[in-house]
Amino acid sequence: MVRIQALDVMPSRGKPQFFPPDDGNEGKLRDMGGPQTTPHPYHGRKVALATKHQKERSLGQPLKHAVGLKLVVPAGLDTDLLGTFSGEVDRKGTPREVALQKARLGMKAAGLTLGLASEGSFGPDPRLPFVPADHELLGFVDDDLGIEVIEQVISSNTNFAHEAARTLEDLTDFLRRARFPSHGLIVRPNSGLQPGFLFKDITTIEALKEAVEQCACVSADGLAHVETDMRAHRNPTRRAVLREVAEGLGRRLKSVCPECGTPGWGLVDVSRGLPCEWCGGETELVRTEVYGCPRCLYRENRPRSDGLEAASPGDCAWCNP
């Protein structure tokens, strides 16, 4: 499983230090000079979560546990206007841009200065092209501090798949891989979207059979396109990955900048060029990790968190052309 996520960091001496919840200081910070505890800056604060697919079920507890945030879901907010998995609305912008746009829509609707939203993307794993992957990006906005914090995960833990079928009998193997019926399905004509022939929220064999028959009947090639429903409320596997990225954001918000003390210190970039262990030449693998602050833009270069100091010759363009 491949992940992109922030790591816990320890502030420099004399700065406030955030402690993990299991030490009895949930959502609190303690000054390094004494035992006195004070609440985390976000403890008890409300944050607007822009979602129409019950993502609060995955994101709420990790963020409350980490820093004491309370999620508020604005009523009537249609996040599908910014893009849908099933293709009716194309996503306009990068996952980061859309997540932050969603967060600000939620902030405006709820009248809050803190906002949160996620954006998921599904496709081939960047390292294993034949393996599907879930890229979850979580964007946090604090207009009081003027910061935007991004946390993301790339996970191979997904049921993402699709299949063209003429009848229900053609889907036997696909349904097992899709983890149906605990995970929902979406069906449309294989030749493309047609008005009135997009079926969502399919969780029973009966509904699936009817949708396949109708869509195959109107499709130019006589086939129905059946795909996994990747919306959070219909996909328990995606909810697990959302919880994972929320835990990462919680760790990041607990970590403060060693220069200005702002929450959100963490991994922001990487520097490539890890030397080959045979020839010493630079490779495309990550050499150092760049940690940074979302407010004062202070940066630190650090060795790889996994301790790797040299690349295999197999990753070297000179040794393995």
Q: Give the confidence band of 1 by pLDDT, cuts at 50, 70, 90.
A: very low
Residue 95 burial (CB count, 10 A)? 19
DSSP characters over 124-163:
E-SS-TTSEEEEEEEEEEETTTTEEEEEEEEES-----EE
The pTM (predicted TM-score) of the whole model is 0.86
Q: How confident is the model over 248-269, as a mean pLDDT?
A: 96
Residue 287: predicted pLDDT: 97
User: Where does 166-316 show beta strands of DSSP type E?
Assistant: 185-189, 199-202, 224-228, 266-272, 286-292, 299-303
* 3-class DSSP state of 107: helix
DSSP H helical ranges for 129-264? 172-177, 205-218, 236-254
Per residue in 7-35, pLDDT tens?
Answer: 222 222 233 333 333 344 556 554 333 44
Rounded to whole angstroms, the Cα distance separating 36 from 17 reads 12
Q: How confident is the model over 198-226, as a mean pLDDT?
A: 98
Residues of the chain with CATH 3.90.950: 17-158+233-258
Q: How confident is the model over 118-134, as a mean pLDDT?
A: 93
H/E element holding 57?
helix 56-67
Per residue in 82-118, pLDDT tens?
Answer: 988 888 888 889 999 999 999 999 999 999 999 999 9
Residue 16: predicted pLDDT: 31
Of 159, 212, 216, nearest to 191 by C-alpha is: 216
Class of domain 17-158+233-258: alpha beta
Mean residue pLDDT across the chain: 89
Residue 39: predicted pLDDT: 84
Identify residue 83 by its one-letter amino acid code. Answer: G
How large a percentage of the chain has pLDDT more than 70?
88
Residues of the chain with CATH 3.30.1490: 162-229
Rounded to whole angstroms, the Cα distance separating 15 from 6 reads 20
* 3-class DSSP state of 109: helix
Q: Which CATH architecture has domain 162-229?
A: 2-Layer Sandwich (3.30)
Residue 140: predicted pLDDT: 98
